[in-house]
A and B are shown apart, each in its own frame.
Chain A
Amino acid sequence: MGGSPVWDGTLSLDSFNTSAAALVKRWKEIEVDDSLPEWTWKPCSKSRVPLEVGGYLALERVYSSCGRSQEQIEEMEKFDDAGDVAWVESSSDNVHVYDFHVVYSFSYKVPVLYFRGYHTSGQLLTLDEVKEGLPSHSQKVLSESKWTFITQEEHPHLSKPWLTLHPCATSDWMKLLLEETKATDKERSLQYLPACMYGD
């Protein structure tokens, strides 16, 4: 490239793909928490329209509950299967399941996080229910900037309503996180998504 100016915190599509692969690999290596599912790469192709090769990252079926471990939740699910309905209903109210997707935004040239939560019954969580599961600091931010933090938008590949973290400030954040590292473009693209995750 030669003489490139100050990095603006954005990512090209190729770099996104490279970085996604790096994240999938690193996630496997570091064994964050055995109970967490793994990030996978989902190639996207609409059933009838052959679109160009592309895809997104997915981390699906992440359980979230107040003070319960993954094992306890799985234990509860077994009860569910055994038909212990009354007990499960009262306790599974506190268990939410989340799917996370990281999709490349051509507009903002950054990765964008899409997510949705649902009850163990499969019923989708409303934005209010998702809000309740957020740390108190995030709840405060959300109440102050209703439309620029978490918004409800169409998933670019699934054409279904998902929640998204608004991407308009992502490049500034990433610039802060990575510009000190003096990395080359290639190194930077490898670090980009992993840094995103830890940065949270």
Chain B
Amino acid sequence: MAAPHDEAAAWSEEAARRVWAGAVPLQVHLHDADVTALPPPPAFLTLGPRIGYLPLLIPVIKAHFSNALPPGVDTVWFEYKGLPLKWYVPIGALFDLLCADPERPWNLIVHFRGYPSEILSPCEGEDSVKWSYMNSLKEATFIITGNSKSVMNMSHADQVALWESVMKGNLDGYKSISTRLKIGPFEDDGLVRTASAERKRQQNSDEPESPGSSKPCRVPVRLYVRNVQEDLEYIEDAVPVSDWEGVSYINRPFEIRKVEGRSYITLEHALQTLLPEFFSSKAASRADGSHPAGALDSAADSSDATNSSRSSKEAEQALASPREVGAAKKTKVKLVRVQGIELDMDIPFLWVANNLKNPEYYLHICVYVGTRKQ
């Protein structure tokens, strides 16, 4: 019995290492209006950790541009193709969301003046990022365990050490503290190992928890839903996001309910539950049935749509109720990306949650949906 468990643990270990080592090559340009030197300074090349945040790069970026900056107080922010970047979104999630075709290096513009306070929350550098991180961790802990006590009761030293490990990408340091928080991993049976569950388990180890008494397990998920043209043939041709209005940000836990006759919950099923409006009615109805559904059938159909396949699909939709058809016709999932990976939709959702999560225990999922122009 030990062998498969060890193997799974080794895979998880490997996945965590890769997530933590993941980085986006960045080429940072100083905004024209902030340049006070001639010739203008060359762009700055650096690696942005996927699990990191843009303001954490400010010290090195500022050092590089220091000779070209105007005098006065700096309020630093980043822009990509005219869009001010939200500093509290991890770099990896921003990249997956905004670069349909992964652009390497990713060309960003850094501003030292004119902070767009109507669009972005104020940022006081590392301190703000740290507290945004701690708040997210607290929220994730609440979602998973039903309270935030393990985070609230952390010693100051542990809090500092935990944050330092995240900031420096030190996975071993992070693990030594985060395991003490006792929030996860999610188990295959849809239960989560928490401090109280652990005690219960030790008290009556032979007796499985009665299904009625266990609370449904909740997984912290942050979804970024980006609209692209419905008739888009290649995802890389998507029109760049010019305004955050074009992105729906959904901060909503996924509640796992054990379904009779299903061995595990697929990523697809989780997304259907979280975003029912983006899956065709055909797939949605199948998802409630016993066999794992293939909602992306329809998305795949449309990407290489010939007139004949489209018309047959429309015929199928005609059988569904008119309201559902309307929704299904309007939007379709084109791409799902987590940690830069386009995931197989049949992958077990809990594996994704356990292994591809960020260090604040949130799973950041980018979804591209085709939307009919209105």
Q: Does B266 contact A (CB under 8 A)?
A: no
State the Cβ distance, B181 to closest chain A Cβ, in Å: 15
* Chain A interface main SS type: loop
A154 / chain B contacts, CB cutoff of 8 Å: 86, 88, 121, 249
Given contacts A108-B142, A152-B121, A161-B121, contact A147 B135 (CB under 8 A): yes
CB-contact partner of A49 in B119, B120, B227, B251, under 8 A: B227
Q: Give the interface size bracket for B toward A.
A: 35 or more
Q: Does B76 contact A (CB under 8 A)?
A: no
| Closest chain B residue, CB of each to CB of A163 | B121
**B121 in contact with A50 (CB, 8 Å):** no
Q: Which of B8-16, B240-248, B287-295, B333-341 contacts A (4 or more CB under 8 A)?
A: B240-248
Q: Does B183 contact A (CB under 8 A)?
A: no
Q: Which A residues form the contact surface with B (CB < 8 A)? A: 8, 46-52, 106-108, 124, 127, 147, 151-154, 156, 159-161, 166, 168
**B251 in contact with A107 (CB, 8 Å):** yes
Q: Which B residues form the contact surface with A (CB < 8 A)? A: 86, 88, 117-122, 131, 134-135, 138-139, 142-143, 146, 148, 152, 220, 225, 227, 244-249, 251-253, 276-277, 327, 330-331, 369, 371, 374
State the Cβ distance, A142 to closest chain B Cβ, in Å: 14
A153 / chain B contacts, CB cutoff of 8 Å: 121
**A49 in contact with B135 (CB, 8 Å):** no
For the A-B complex with A147-B134, A159-B247 known, give 19 more contacts whose Cβ atoms are closer than 8 Å: A47-B245, A48-B245, A48-B371, A49-B371, A50-B330, A50-B331, A107-B142, A107-B143, A107-B220, A108-B139, A147-B135, A152-B122, A153-B121, A154-B88, A154-B249, A160-B119, A161-B120, A161-B121, A168-B152
**A124 in contact with B245 (CB, 8 Å):** no
**A46 in contact with B245 (CB, 8 Å):** yes
**B121 in contact with A48 (CB, 8 Å):** no
State the Cβ distance, B372 to closest chain A Cβ, in Å: 9
| Closest chain A residue, CB of each to CB of B118 | A160
**A49 in contact with B131 (CB, 8 Å):** no
Given contacts A46-B245, A153-B121, contact A106 B138 (CB under 8 A): no
A127 / chain B contacts, CB cutoff of 8 Å: 122
**A49 in contact with B369 (CB, 8 Å):** yes
A159 / chain B contacts, CB cutoff of 8 Å: 244-245, 247, 249
Given contacts A48-B371, A50-B331, A156-B251, contact A107 B139 (CB under 8 A): yes
Taken together as a complex, chains A and B put the C-alpha atoms of A108 and B251 apart, in Å, by: 11
Given contacts A124-B118, A152-B122, A161-B121, contact A52 B276 (CB under 8 A): yes
Q: Could you write out 19 A-B pairs with CB less than 8 Å apart? A: A46-B245, A48-B374, A49-B371, A50-B331, A52-B276, A106-B253, A107-B139, A107-B251, A107-B252, A147-B134, A147-B135, A154-B121, A154-B249, A156-B251, A159-B244, A159-B249, A160-B118, A161-B117, A168-B148
